[in-house]
Structure 1
Amino acid sequence: MINRLKYSLLVAALFLSLIGFAQNRTYCNPINIDYGYCPIPDFVKQGKHRATADPVIVQNKGTFYLFSTNQWGYWYSDDLSNWTFVSRKFLRPEHKVYDELCAPSASFVNDTLLVVGSTHGKEFPIWMSTNPKNNEWKELVHKSEAGAWDPQIFWDADTDQIYEYFGSSNLYPLYGFKLNRKTFQPEGEAIPMIALNDDEHGWERFGEHNDNTFLQPFLEGAFMTKHNNKYYLQYGAPGTEFSGYADGVYVGNSPLGPFEYQSHNPFSYKPGGFARGAGHGATFLNTNQSYWHTSTIGICTKNNFERRIGIWPAGFDRDGVMFCNTAYGDYPTYLPNVKQSGEFTRWMLLNYNKPVIVSSTLGGLQPNFSVDEDIKTYWSAKTGNAGEYLISDLGQRATINAIQINYADQDVEFMGKSTPKNGHQYRLYVSNDGKKWTLLVDKSNNEKDVPHEYIELEKSATARYVKLENVKMPTGTFAISGFRIFGNGNQAKPTEVQNFVALRTPPKVKGERRNVWFKWQQNPTADGYVIYFGKSADKLYGSIMVYGKNEYYFNGLDRSDAYYFAIEAFNDSGISARTQVTKVD
């Protein structure tokens, strides 16, 4: 028996070494789950596409549960990396709607998970489960009188009281009320909680870059977190279609307020990089009591509501300020279950705008779109046939630690959830001369739907060329929005950025103080830059990733306050020292 066990372990170890990867210690946004294809017919006129948003993650007894918009089910995971989908529709037969679980609320009361979706009526039930892994649900409330859009049910464990928050509008505020602890029906009328103030808060303005001054911004996505006897009411703004989609927070001493705007806002914000947007989300605790935040990432190419999900480390500082770290937030990051939880690995992107060779090209969907660090653009081969390929030239021999393959939706044929055992199948090869290839990863028998496949190599590889060869697509052509190779190059990391200037209208001069123009001296060895901002020198919690430019217009400041800024440069080999912090009144 012992010899058989040793033999089995040896075979398993040999298998893992051959395929080049083991259980992940890291992850990379967008998270890699089987996003469903859009269920709303009117939303697919430009092409069928995957879509979900408005995520909430809750954790109980070491298991994480993920719910999001219109997925006909939910996921669970023990490590935030490997997710299992549970198929279920939270509807009764009389409900004739497609928004069966739009912007859902999911929360535990003791060990019971409560779930309810958005509705404009009073007909939706509140569902309950003590065994959600096995899809065992029943109605807690048959018809919830608290039915509303973008709901969140919050259990205050210290007082054993239940509250609900809701709202999604460019006109009305967020509301809240107390729910009866026994009936879970509302007690009294809804109370206004918070409203947008985009005249003061630049980041709340509508538009891709908070620059649309003629349309009213949207307020939505209420979520409550209690920390150290303070109540943190979070909200999303200004619109899910935009890279500047973000989450802000108000703080109060009681669950129904009054609330005050947290000075350091937005606390969850990611307007730059490959995966952009970090709004309408939820904050949750890991098993080690560290905080994380999940929220919506926008693609918004085939439809304004073409979206994905991201997770980022979050927390509260010693002064009670809520923050979320999105710097390098779409690069490999250590998962919560490892010692370096939440830390950036410092595996850099090796192939930004590097040469690409492909087997074929469909129309104007050009090869360079696969390496331009823009999730909104993509390359497509002419077919989805086996043998279509993409080769990325790193320009030098480099150390490779991880690879992310972001598939795009081109000419897909169906809607809803992907069929079982219909996964992306591919092979990865490496080469030093572009002629002789060595197999690195073989997923030619993969049955799992992996639209944002992430492979962490158990043992790093060294190569100049990386080849992605298609074996089979679940549907559509072989199309890639981001073929991203992570590791470390062999050149020097960039030197510190020089002549960094932040120009803003002074306090006593008439002008637009919600905007600032950053300008700096271009560094020829840098691929890009990260700008940090905040309202005190030791709290630069906000960040903006900028590729290939030496200026940036930021329209997300609060009008009345002074700010502090710093910048650093990065390339495929590392990150420069950060500049001294600059104060701008």
Structure 2
Amino acid sequence: MNQKLIFVLFVCASFMTFLSCAQNLEVNRSSRYCNPLPMILGPGGNAAGDVTVIRENGTYYMYCTGGGAWYSKDMMNWSFQTVANVPVAPDVTKYNGKFYMCGNDCPLYIADDPLGPFTVLGDWKNTPDVAGGWNGAFDVDIFIDDDNKPYLYYSGKGVSGIYVVELDPNDLTSFSSPVKHLIEFNNEHVWERYGESNEYPDVAWIEGPWMQKHNGIYYLQYSASGTQWKTYASGYYTSKSPTGPFTYAPNNPLLRKTEGLVTGTAHGSIVEGPDGNLWQFYTIVLSDPPGGRRIGMDRIVFDENGNMSVKITDTPQWAPDFKTDSQKEDCGSLPLTINKVNAWNALSKFSSEQDGRYASYAVDNFSGTWWEPKPNDVEPSITIELSPATEFDVVQLFTIDGLRLMFNQDWRTIERLREDPPSYIYQYKIEVSLDGKNYLTAFDQTSNNISKNTIYEEIPPIECRFVRLTITDWPKTSPLKLNEFTIFGKASGFLPAQESIPGKQ
């Protein structure tokens, strides 16, 4: 039996399995998450970093720079609600049955419910002058200790560092102790320095404090070098007291990633997840547009010495409520599409592209570039051959199980977006094939009506060699700009070398 006949029989058998899987196999759509998180965008709400997440009566509430609020039962499926008065870098804390919200250069707000309405309680009173470390409440965090004492942590500007003051339990707008300076910029901590190469030894921006108590230890988290850099990162100090003295952790930085789609990981918060473990939420800084940001989350683990660590992820991971013995293990799905639109992949195709906005940019694993099809391309598409590209390689088949799309968002006018965010409703479909000729729809979102600029979806597992993305509609107020298209999955079989494949050059 010759190789061509073997190949045809294999394709026929696989296609029948392919059809069966597409029709019968279902997945738990909340079993995995993938960073950046696919947050809904709504009127007065944009998930644009500086993220605080709290838990109240089994529901999680998220607040970000960009306004609005999100809520979820499982930290996976978030609903959006317009909430007035959400400031830049919001912090929300429950104290004595009320919810207090503060942020950059704003008064303290109060509400009976985490979704508001929040009304002004008052400005901060009896505060020190700038020389004493006060700057009008920049990147604040109200922490309530186990003895119900409230503390305010805040950052100075530039290199000045992090401060703490005890608040009056009867009036949280008043200080009840002298301000204490806890930490400042240390240029021996190279990751704290300004710049994409941390090249400024005397410049930094220390910000974003978050206090977390765990097993009797106080963990003071902070961010540096600045939110405009992909070197933006977080570190932490520890103490046996909420007011110090604090010791620099030996495994710093806690959060730092400078390559790929998840970069500039800092300024976030910690919350107990549905699994009983602590989870880290953080800001993600994009390469383009400058200042563009998203949200990420990952598990926190502690070693036998109490050192805290976070493995930053950018591939599908088990959800916080996924109850199995392997819930802390990587689920194993890999990105399959990176750099597979190029001269070596002759069977990968695209419908159109503009100069400087090439289709290859949609699969380069970099947020600073994007694919922009021609204006007359009414249904732009990219077809990717997942198999190796040369005639000397075996034909690798893959079982795909996830999809990520990231669209370019111009974040240069923050206040306009907070008041009037644009619509980000994208409609699309994913088709798959074993032979590059016969395609089957594996995932259909051609009727989508949910506004998101980052998308992650579980795909019912299906074996294929070719994947095609077709975008059927998008907001026509601006050109289509796709930063990244990622298909996730695992190798699941192979054929002989590609010289036996019809149409392979």
Could you state the TM-score of these two structures normalised by the residue count of structure 1?
0.71
Counterpart residue number, 1:441: 443
Per-residue deviation, residues 217-255 of structure 1 (Å, max 9, x unmatched) = 110001100111111111001121222211111111111
Matches within 5 A, 1:56-455: 56-69=52-65, 71-90=66-85, 101-109=87-95, 111-119=97-105, 124-133=106-115, 135-139=116-120, 141-145=121-125, 147-156=136-145, 158-184=146-172, 185-198=174-187, 200-210=188-198, 212-213=199-200, 216-303=203-290, 305-326=291-312, 329-339=313-323, 340-355=326-341, 356-383=348-375, 386-395=378-387, 396-409=396-409, 415-416=417-418, 423-455=425-457
> Which residue identity does 2:439 align to in structure 1?
W
How far apart are 1:338 and its partner, in Å?
A: 0.7
| 1:473–1:439 distance in 2 versus 1, CA, 3 Å | same
Q: How many residues align?
A: 445
| Contact preservation (8 Å) 1:152, 1:166 | yes
CA distance in 2: counterparts of 1:321 and 1:431, whole angstroms: 48
| Contact preservation (8 Å) 1:68, 1:104 | yes
| 1:197–1:336 distance in 2 versus 1, CA, 3 Å | same
How far apart are 1:342 and its partner, in Å?
A: 4.6
| Contact preservation (8 Å) 1:384, 1:473 | no
How far apart are 1:87 and its partner, in Å?
A: 0.8
SS at match of 1:189: coil
SS at match of 1:144: coil
CA distance in 2: counterparts of 1:29 and 1:486, whole angstroms: 13
| Contact preservation (8 Å) 2:42, 2:81 | no
| 1:417–1:34 distance in 2 versus 1, CA, 3 Å | farther
CA distance in 1: counterparts of 2:49 and 2:96, whole angstroms: 26
| Contact preservation (8 Å) 1:348, 1:487 | yes
CA distance in 2: counterparts of 1:32 and 1:418, whole angstroms: 20
How far apart are 1:151 and its partner, in Å?
A: 0.5
How far apart are 1:306 and its partner, in Å?
A: 1.3
> Which residue identity does 2:265 align to in structure 1?
A
How far apart are 1:280 and its partner, in Å?
A: 1.2
| 1:168–1:380 distance in 2 versus 1, CA, 3 Å | farther
How far apart are 1:358 and its partner, in Å?
A: 1.6
| 1:214–1:320 distance in 2 versus 1, CA, 3 Å | closer
| Contact preservation (8 Å) 2:337, 2:386 | yes
CA distance in 2: counterparts of 1:435 and 1:68, whole angstroms: 46
How far apart are 1:21 and its partner, in Å?
A: 5.5
> Which residue identity does 1:370 align to in structure 2?
A
| 1:357–1:36 distance in 2 versus 1, CA, 3 Å | farther
CA distance in 1: counterparts of 2:372 and 2:38, whole angstroms: 20
Gaps of 5+ in 2: 1-19, 128-135, 342-347, 388-395, 495-505
> Which residue identity does 2:76 align to in structure 1?
S
SS at match of 2:191: helix
2:37 is equivalent to residue 31 of structure 1: yes
SS at match of 2:361: helix
SS at match of 1:170: coil
> Which residue identity does 2:93 align to in structure 1?
S
Identity %: 29
> Which residue identity does 1:307 align to in structure 2?
R
SS at match of 2:264: strand
| Contact preservation (8 Å) 1:421, 1:447 | no
SS at match of 2:354: coil
Counterpart residue number, 1:476: 478
How far apart are 1:421 and its partner, in Å?
A: 8.1
Per-residue deviation, residues 420-446 of structure 1 (Å, max 9, x unmatched) = 986211111111222221111111111
Per-residue deviation, residues 386-439 of structure 1 (Å, max 9, x unmatched) = 411122221232110111111223799984477798621111111122222111
> Which residue identity does 2:473 align to in structure 1?
K
How far apart are 1:138 and its partner, in Å?
A: 3.8
Could you state the TM-score of these two structures normalised by the residue count of structure 2?
0.81
CA distance in 2: counterparts of 1:22 and 1:420, whole angstroms: 31
| Contact preservation (8 Å) 2:210, 2:269 | yes
| 1:234–1:297 distance in 2 versus 1, CA, 3 Å | same
| Contact preservation (8 Å) 2:289, 2:409 | no
SS at match of 2:360: helix
| 1:270–1:421 distance in 2 versus 1, CA, 3 Å | closer
Counterpart residue number, 1:53: 49
CA distance in 1: counterparts of 2:485 and 2:254, whole angstroms: 29
SS at match of 2:176: strand
How far apart are 1:287 and its partner, in Å?
A: 3.1
Gaps of 5+ in 1: 1-13, 40-49, 91-99, 493-585
SS at match of 1:163: strand
How far apart are 1:18 and its partner, in Å?
A: 7.7
